[in-house]
Structure 1
């Protein structure tokens, strides 16, 4: 009996010891969150848009004399501003109209951008001839690799142009004209053999009247200058009759007389032609036309 009591007591003691062990709490591993850092994209810098403002009436044309040169009206105006004082000085000294000097400079040099002007400062297409002792360059013109005069600067070319006209007997007739009679001078230069192009006078007159070069003649002579316009050229006629008369050219529907502001493009549109066809009909080598010039349109 006593043994059973002892055994029961032992069992109770063991059971109480196992139940008294501290319970181990299973805890989840805590994750420490790092503070969020806001990320921003690096701003991309873009240049402000540049507005291109078109130049007013900055038309393009091709000048073809000793070389073929594409120029704009702005370029021609800049050329005039650069050399007008030299041209007026030569008019005072040698009696050559400043308008003619500038028009020849524009045409012969491609407004300073032609091959001879850039390579040799030759703005008037003057060839060497037998009396030239200065430097020279070779350039294709009427014949291959002809000899042209070369100058240290453009001003020397302007001076030599004046001396060339004054010193050659074949140009003596030019100096019998009035100093500011640019139309007679333009025709006289062609007649004296300065250029072989039959349209040479019309081209010079066109530049003079389009760019108001005659004003520089008037500054030298002291005369009042009136810009050429449709209203001054035909003051007693309204615009519509003038166009009708010029288109018919004395009732000839095949011809059109060039008016102030006309271009080959505007004329071609008026008569439903291509510019190239219009040039071919009139044997034109470039886009230069002059006021009063009669063009075949049919």
Structure 2
């Protein structure tokens, strides 16, 4: 029986992924009006927004995760674990209102509807999907770029290889990202949805996906994943703060606080946002 070393709260404490973000230029009034319209449309379509537990989220979205795995080779366990992290079990505003489960931002080639919320910039632009399945498909497409190419050569049930490979490829800055991802997979037995494939199937899938990745090389494709750390797990440095007193406030050691924020030294500055664990 696997030992689970991380409690459930790791789902909402993953450090932000290292990706370049598109800056949206829109007024607060425009953003608010746009969001209200999007919210009305989705409420009309689904009534009251559903609220998921982790287990309910897994049961709801495991089928599409398996479909994406079979099509592209991303382990279903990896997709589900990332969805749990980034959407707050499907209960975050982006997931509930915009059907955006992986925090994918607008890029210059995005032609669909948009939802605006503060992230790296005020009123950052996020993609709105007609349904959650489109969000899962877009997540697979997001990974089809050169720096993730080697991951598609892994077996599609190698979730440990994928977890470590995503970190090595720069998907997330948190040094503990692979361990956090693996802990959630094993806590909920998500690897039961991963499926092995024969050698011929693997070669055909690799050829198909790597060809698509090669076709994307040279195109203006921007990384667009949202920061994965909810705002209630961020602390803004105030006058007189030190790493020591912040760490004590949130029950951490200084080294743990530095690791969560990928810090090489003890220097902090006024207004800086730090990932914390209560």
TM-score normalized with structure 2 length:
0.54
Count matched residues.
172
The 5 A counterparts of 1:1-298 are 61=9, 63-64=12-13, 75-166=53-144, 168-218=145-195, 221=197, 276-278=250-252, 281-283=255-257, 284=260, 285=275
In structure 1, runs of 5+ residues without a counterpart are 1-58, 68-73, 223-272, 289-298
| Residue aligned with 1:282, SS | helix
Q: Which protein shows a greater Rg?
A: 1
| Residue aligned with 2:252, SS | helix
Alignment correspondent of 2:42: none
Alpha-carbon spacing, 1:148–1:196, altered in 2? closer, same or farther (3 Å): farther
TM-score normalized with structure 1 length:
0.51
What whole-Å deviation, never above 9, does each CA across 1:22-65 have from its counterpart, x for those lacking one?
xxxxxxxxxxxxxxxxxxxxxxxxxxxxxxxxxxxxx8636146
Query: CA contact under 8 A between 2:98 and 2:127: conserved in structure 1?
Result: yes
The root-mean-square deviation of aligned C-alpha atoms, in Å, is 3.0
- How far does residue 112 in structure 1 lie from its aligned partner after superposition? 0.1
Query: CA contact under 8 A between 2:15 and 2:173: conserved in structure 1?
Result: no
Q: Distance in 1 between matches of 2:106 and 2:15?
A: 14
- How far does residue 287 in structure 1 lie from its aligned partner after superposition? 5.6
- How far does residue 279 in structure 1 lie from its aligned partner after superposition? 6.3
| Residue aligned with 2:115, SS | strand
- How far does residue 221 in structure 1 lie from its aligned partner after superposition? 4.5
Alpha-carbon spacing, 1:276–1:213, altered in 2? closer, same or farther (3 Å): same
Alpha-carbon spacing, 1:83–1:280, altered in 2? closer, same or farther (3 Å): farther
- How far does residue 179 in structure 1 lie from its aligned partner after superposition? 1.2
| Residue aligned with 2:250, SS | helix
Query: CA contact under 8 A between 1:88 and 1:217: conserved in structure 2?
Result: yes
Greater helix proportion:
2
Q: Distance in 2 between matches of 1:66 and 1:114?
A: 16
Determine which structure has greater relative contact order: mean sequence separation of CA pairs < 8 Å that are 6+ residues apart, divided by chain length. 2
Q: Distance in 1 between matches of 2:129 and 2:108?
A: 17
In structure 2, runs of 5+ residues without a counterpart are 1-6, 17-51, 199-246, 261-274
Query: CA contact under 8 A between 1:66 and 1:108: conserved in structure 2?
Result: no
